[in-house]
Amino acid sequence: MRWTKTFIPTLKESPLEAEIRSHRLMLRSGLIQKLSSGLYSFLPLGLRSLRKIEKIIREEMDSHGAIELLLPILQPKEIWTQSGRWDSMRDLMLVAEDRMKRSFVLGPTHEEIITDLAAKRIRSYRDLPKNFYQIQTKFRDEIRPRFGLMRAREFLMKDSYSFDTTDEAAQKAYWNMVDAYRAIFKRCGFKFKMVEADTGVMGGSLSHEFMVLADSGEDEILVCSKCDDAFNREWAVSRGANASSKSSEPSQKGGVCPKCATPYEILRGIEVGHVFKLGTKYSAILGAHYLNEQGVQNPCVMGCYGIGVSRCLAAFIEQNSNEQGILWNRALAPYEILILPVMMENLTVKESAENLYHQLKEQNFDCLLDDRGERAGVKFKDADLIGFPLQVTLGQKLMDTGQVEIRSRFHSKTELVNLQDAIGVIGRVLEEMAPL
């Protein structure tokens, strides 16, 4: 792709509304554009990175046996009333009416809808187990949308739902999804912790959150450095999970691990994933039953599993950036390589950049050519702001020696190489980065 043929509206100054680094950088680098409070448009660069997260999620969910489908965004009030969550979640819901004055919810989550589908289609133990997932826009009426994509009214989410015959099988499905989530977040390049957490309005008997570690995170987590036990602090305090005979003030201190008596470290995290073992809370009420081998009807045992896809984008930037710009890895960067010719009006520089660009494209490298007629300083600042993992600079002085400059922003390394060796070096440097 050529810079002049796409749309990358960078900003020199940070918008006053942006409270945290990821929000500032996403607006400045042209990844997103604010429409209204809690509502953002994804611009071409932001959408490319979002699609890369989706691809990783789909590959891992598929490899762990989940089946993709797509459920309606509009959900009738009646099914939420039947499940009992119309009242408990009403404050978070965005509600619409049709011309007949029937009320609908703009889906904040889809437990009711997937359970209704299972109730109508699953009949026998032979139909189970099943795990369905979707990647879809969700809507929640946040009291105070803030921090850009971290807490928005409209956001992209991966939600999945497992159906099993027994509690033991549901437990196995739960830990299978935990394995999938670990693989997803590892491939994205996150530094993260899985922590025990409250089941909240989702209900169920078991719950874990996946927290990207960042000082700007809204959640406090307690981590044992010895046995790696970890809790959401709010849940730990309410349950007394961090209280022991050696710590009588769990709400004031980190406390000690009840397993090994090691003092907890208090960290901050951004929740990007949450898994729940639901049991029969929804299936029993909404009629998702199956006939066992003896012909006896039983409710399916369920689990549900969510990933905030758009929040993952912001969380990555929060964890991998500085005030100059984003530090993309290879897995999530909108483009892996930026070809940066200085002085496009110089025929030698222009032709060399064009030739390199075409050679990289022919070998299926993911690259962007900055073919703008801007000053070198503007190009370099934009390159650092957006944070392409690999920047390849061509200029007249370099051309005089037959060289190009290859800079790995991800590793903060720069090397001069002969132009004819550039393709091989680019491939090597990319391989040295985190694998896709």
User: Is residue 252's pLDDT more than 50?
Assistant: no
Start-end of H helices in 36-76: 44-63
Confidence of residue 246 (pLDDT cuts 50, 70, 90): very low
- Residue 234: pLDDT band (50, 70, 90) is confident
Q: Average the pLDDT over each of 113-117, 144-148, 415-419, 432-436 and give the range with the smallest value.
A: 432-436
> Which tokens is 61 given?
């969910």
Q: Calculate mean pLDDT across residues 205-226.
A: 89
Q: Mean of the pLDDT values across residues 207-228?
A: 89
Residue 260 binned pLDDT confidence (cut-offs 50, 70, 90)? confident
Burial code of 276-311, b = ≥16 C-beta within 10 A, e = fewer?
Answer: bbbbbbbbebbbbbbeeeeeeeebbbbbbbbbbbbb
What pLDDT shows up at residue 237?
Answer: 67
Chain length of the chain: 436
Amino acid at 352: S
Torsion (CA) 292, 115, 182, 89 in degrees, nearest 10:
-140
At residue 163, does pLDDT exceed 80? Answer: yes
pLDDT digits (tens, 9 = 90+) for 75-87: 999 999 999 999 9
pLDDT recorded at residue 255:
77
Note the pLDDT of residue 241. 46
In tens, the pLDDT along 329-356 reads 999 999 999 999 998 888 999 999 999 9
Residues 6+ apart with CB under 8 A from 431: none
Query: Rounded to whole angstroms, how far apart are CA atoms 299 and 276?
Result: 17
Structure tokens of 187?
């491939």
Residue 333 burial (C-beta neighbours within 10 Å; 0-12, 13-18, 19+): buried
Residue 233, pLDDT > 90, answer no
* Residue 226 predicted with pLDDT over 90: no
Query: What percentage of residues in the chain have a pLDDT greater than 70?
Result: 94
Rounded Cα distance between 299 and 24, Å, is 48
User: Which CATH superfamily, name and number, covers 335-432?
Assistant: Anticodon-binding domain (3.40.50.800)
What pLDDT, on the 0 to 100 scale, is given for residue 354? 95
Q: CA–CA separation, 242 vs 258, rounded Å?
A: 7
Residue 71: count other Cβ atoms within 10 Å of its Cβ. 17
Range list for CATH 3.40.50.800 in the chain: 335-432
Kindly report, residue by residue over 170-192, the tens digit of the pLDDT.
999 999 999 999 999 999 999 99
Judged against a pLDDT cut of 90, whether residue 409 lies above it is answered with: no
Residue scoring higher pLDDT (366 or 229): 366
Q: What is the mean pLDDT of residues 202-226?
A: 87
pLDDT in tens, 14-64: 888 888 999 999 999 999 999 999 999 999 999 999 999 999 999 999 999
> Which residue spans within 47-116 are E strands per DSSP?
67-68, 74-76, 94-97, 103-106
Helix (H, G, I), strand (E, B) or coil at 93: coil
Q: How far apart are CA 281 and CA 153, in angstroms?
A: 27
Judge whether residue 243 has pLDDT over 50. no
pLDDT > 80? residue 140: yes
Instruction: Please name the helix (run of DSSP H) or strand (run of DSSP E) that holds residue 428, with its range, or none.
Output: helix 422-432
User: What is the CATH topology of the domain spanning 3-322?
Assistant: BirA Bifunctional Protein; domain 2 (3.30.930)
Q: Note the pLDDT of residue 344.
A: 85
Q: Where in the chain is the domain with CATH 3.30.930.10?
A: 3-322
